[in-house]
């Protein structure tokens, strides 16, 4: 990075909100802007392969983008179904495809940007089509309807409905779930439905307990901040981890332990419990902040602790 020369040459900074991904990319490549924040995955190579631009990214700290299964009702009140979904598709290949080889598959519930990330953690979430199918068979989903979806003896289809708040969908998450849906249908005969609705409609779905899983990532410099928000009662309820006292007990110990190493050990135990033992959570990918700029722009700062773009106060550009 070039040394900060003092007062910036620019007289002002102008921020433009451009919701459409292609519009943001085009704004930079057509010299309408100097910096692009939130580079679409499909356009990253546009900037990494061109010496006119700089590209960088930082993984967010906190919890990974994950599915939290609704364990209060069928089908996810059955651990066999939860584990089958965990194992029923190749998450690495899905993330690679959706994010054009630039995404980071979540190996843990806690992201790699956190100081409590445990490289030695062994997740049981591994693609095993045969094992997943046997789990569903043992859970009673042994028959198929005319469209190839699994049903039980009474003819009820194995359907998973995930209703998500449309204003908060980012990072091609709808495309991610389209890919997951296709894989679960092909591999297991599961009818996985992801639908983006307005916030009010999603809230109603939760009030009526019609949602089968909650999709969420929660950023925080200290992962305890993320868990504080995830484990408190929601109104209406969306996440049910706190129904299990072992989850809340481990989270409390991890938050208050006297040393970093002790906290990390409790977080590892917590992850092992909610991912491996109980299959309450399916981590999907690690969210990131990314940006591209002209090579004439310098001084963009990031917070590696929080995993976010920190500020633009020190940004300057060549004359």
pLDDT tens digits, 232-278: 999 999 999 999 999 999 999 999 999 999 999 999 999 999 999 99
Tell me, yes or no, whether 34 lies in a domain.
yes
Q: What is the CATH number for 27?
A: 3.40.190.10
Neighbours of 57 (CB within 10 A): 16
Alpha carbon dihedral 206, 86, 63, 228, in 10-degree steps, equals 50
Poorest-pLDDT segment among 28-32, 106-110, 296-300, 304-308: 304-308
CB 60 within 8 A of CB 283: no
Alpha helices in 52-193 (DSSP H): 79-87, 91-98, 129-138, 173-188
DSSP state of 143: E
Q: Within a domain: residue 6? A: no
Domain that residue 83 falls in: 62-285
pLDDT, one tens digit per residue, over 65-103 is 999 999 999 999 999 999 999 999 999 999 999 999 999
Q: Give the pLDDT of residue 2.
A: 58
The confidence band for 9, taking pLDDT boundaries of 50, 70 and 90, is low
Based on the fold, state whether residues 96 and 245 are members of the same structural domain. yes
In-domain check, residue 15: no
Please state the domain count of the chain.
2
Greatest pairwise CA separation for the chain in angstroms: 74
pTM for the structure as a whole? 0.93
Domain membership flag for residue 13: no
In a domain, 44, yes or no: yes
Share of the chain above pLDDT 70, in %: 95
* Mean pLDDT value across residues 39-58: 96
The reply to whether 102 and 81 lie within a common domain is yes
Closest CA to 66 of 188, 223, 262: 223
One domain for residues 46 and 191 = no
What is the C-alpha R_g of the chain?
22
What pLDDT, on the 0 to 100 scale, is given for residue 58? 92
pLDDT at 317: 86
Task: Please confirm whether the linkage preceding 215 is cis (ω < 30° from 0).
Answer: no
Q: Tell me, yes or no, whether 224 and 249 share the same domain.
A: yes
Q: 48 and 143 in one domain?
A: no
Asked if residue 125 is part of any domain, the answer here is yes
Mean pLDDT score of the chain, rounded to an integer?
A: 94
Domain of 210, CATH number, reads 3.10.105.10
């Amino acid at each position: 990075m070039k040394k900060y020369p003092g007062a910036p040459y620019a007289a002002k900074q102008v921020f433009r909100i451009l919701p459409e991904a292609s519009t943001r990319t085009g704004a930079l490549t057509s010299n309408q802007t100097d910096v692009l924040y939130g580079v679409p995955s499909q356009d990253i190579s546009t900037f990494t392969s061109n010496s006119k631009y700089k590209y960088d990214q930082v993984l967010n700290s906190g919890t990974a983008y994950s599915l939290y299964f609704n364990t209060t009702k069928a089908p996810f009140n059955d651990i066999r179904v939860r584990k089958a979904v965990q194992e029923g598709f190749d998450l690495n290949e899905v993330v690679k495809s959706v994010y054009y080889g630039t995404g980071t598959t979540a190996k843990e519930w806690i992201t790699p940007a956190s100081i409590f990330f445990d490289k030695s953690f062994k997740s049981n979430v591994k693609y095993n089509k045969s094992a997943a199918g046997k789990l569903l068979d043992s859970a009673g989903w042994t028959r198929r309807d005319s469209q190839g979806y699994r049903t039980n003896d009474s003819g009820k289809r194995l359907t998973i409905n995930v209703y998500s708040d449309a204003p908060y969908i980012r990072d091609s998450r709808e495309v991610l779930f389209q890919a997951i849906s296709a894989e679960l249908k092909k591999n297991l005969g599961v009818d996985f439905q992801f639908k983006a609705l307005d916030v009010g409609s999603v809230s109603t779905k939760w009030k009526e307990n019609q949602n089968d899983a909650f999709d969420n990532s929660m950023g925080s410099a200290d992962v305890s901040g993320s868990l504080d928000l995830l484990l408190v009662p929601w109104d209406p309820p969306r996440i049910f981890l706190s129904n299990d006292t072992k989850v809340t007990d481990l989270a409390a110990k991890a938050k208050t332990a006297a040393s970093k190493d002790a906290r990390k050990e409790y977080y590892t135990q917590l992850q092992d419990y909610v991912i491996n033992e109980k299959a309450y959570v399916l981590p999907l990918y690690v969210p990131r902040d990314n940006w591209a700029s002209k090579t004439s722009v310098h001084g963009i700062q990031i917070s590696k602790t929080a995993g976010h773009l920190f500020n633009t106060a020190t940004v300057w550009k060549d004359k």
